[in-house]
Amino acid sequence: MGLHSYFGKKSYDEAFGKIINKVINSYLKKVTDIDFDYEFEIKSREANDDEYYNWIVEVYTDIPLPRTFKYNDEYKIKKKLDGFHHSVLSNEIKDILASIGVDTKSFGNTVGVKLMNLK
């Protein structure tokens, strides 16, 4: 089934949004000191002519995302870094797409992820 079959459909966006909420909030709680959940809303659409991708997944949040996240003490030691750029979340979301069967790599940069509510 091609991306045309489900991208841009409200039912897909809602189902994918539920997965994103669970996985990304779990990830953030694991590697940072964040003790609350973001409410993610997903809107998928065909890309505009001036965009590099064929499809775009726009990710909206109830609370603006910081440009950088600070690792908790455990991950600072493991990663030997203080934190990570918000673009890491875009890569995590692309990985989730792949894990639910959306082929994001066979045809080059088919799907892009945009975080829409940044500080």
Number of domains in the chain: 1
**By residue range, what is the domain housing residue 25?**
3-115
39 torsion bin: left (phi>0), alpha (psi -120 to 50), beta (else): beta
3-state secondary structure 20-72: HHHHHHHHHHHHECCCCCCCEEEEEEECCCCCCCCEEEEEEECCCECCEEEEC
Query: Under a CB-based contact definition with an 8 Å cutoff, are residues 53 and 112 in contact?
Result: yes
Q: Is the pLDDT of residue 97 over 90?
A: no
Query: Under a CB-based contact definition with an 8 Å cutoff, are residues 90 and 34 in contact?
Result: no
Q: What tens digit of pLDDT does each residue of 25-78 get?
A: 999 999 999 999 999 999 999 889 998 888 899 999 999 999 999 999 999 998
Q: Is the pLDDT of residue 1 over 60?
A: no
pTM: 0.85
